[in-house]
Amino acid sequence: TLERSYLLKINGKVVERPQHMLMRVAVGIHSDDIDAAIETYHLMSDKWFTHASPTLFNSGTPKPQLSSCFLLSMTEDSIDGIYDTLKRCALISKSAGGIGLNVHCIRATGSYIAGTNGTSNGLVPMLRVFNNTARYVDQGGNKRPGAFAIYLEPWHADIFEFLDLKKNTGKEEQRARDLFYALWIPDLFMKRVEKDEMWSLMCPDESPGLHTCYGEEFEELYEKYEKEGRYRSQVKAQQIWYAIIESQIETGTPYMLYKDACNRKSNQKNLGTIQCSNLCTEIVEYTSEDEIAVCNLASIALNRYVKDQELNFVQLRIAVTKPF
């Protein structure tokens, strides 16, 4: 893995040793701050911490894209919006970034398309395009597979098809197994699961605004649409719940994140409603059609800081502050 992905090559021949790589990374981050570069080099060499893969891949190179995770919202529900977003994802994956993308705004199967006087094919064919992009545009040019996580709220009318996308059986044209899937769940859904109540499935084109609000505002809008009959169908909330569990047992997905809790606790709530997390679900940041959220990662080897059952907080402080 070190030779294949991390060490630089010229004409297919490895031209770095591991220590050269660490020095390249340190100098790439700190530039002309030689003391900081040397300190970072020694901290990594002594295995106190390591930077994330994109940083190790790209630091000190002509294209120093050092970030691990990118969070995107679909630009808009249109051909231009979908394919502009697809291009963004491809360019991010090309430079070794992992992607979290929410598709709440994409209209459901059978929805009217004014521009063609036709109807939409829904989420599945679109996500198959993203699936093939993740396969084709792997991270860093064959260093590791492309990785996209797709987020959807459970009121979307294509929810059952979404839950089947990674399954091992079924029609191939209804599957997209190379993506990761996640649900962005409002509290109202869990309340109805708990009470064994009905849940209404809606199209974001016919019932707009649900993905851009949370908490009481979401519940008021959702129940307003229910009273107005602006839903495609109604099912038992537990029917969706059992479909989620079945998919998790078979495929390990979808991840489950809780929309209201994430938004209530966020220090970015002043910017707007947070609509997804990242590929690995460890960060929650605001995104919009013109705002891509980014996170940079590094890892400490915590066991290195323990000696005689005491944690060396001084060394830990150095490792988590100095190299950055």
- Residues marked as catalytic: 278, 280, 282
96 three-class SS: coil
Task: Determine contact, residues 50/299, Cβ cutoff 8 Å.
Answer: yes
Strands 298-300 and 49-51: antiparallel
If residue 192 lies in a helix (H) or strand (E), which one and from where to where? helix 187-195
Task: Determine contact, residues 148/89, Cβ cutoff 8 Å.
Answer: yes
Burial class (CB in 10 A: 0-12, 13-18, 19+), 182: buried
Tokens 């992992």 sit at which residue?
98
Task: Determine contact, residues 324/302, Cβ cutoff 8 Å.
Answer: no
C-alpha of 316 from chain center:
29
Enumerate residues 6+ apart whose C-beta is below 8 A from 161. 109, 122, 123, 124, 174
Task: Determine contact, residues 53/82, Cβ cutoff 8 Å.
Answer: no
In 142-183, alpha helices (H) = 159-164
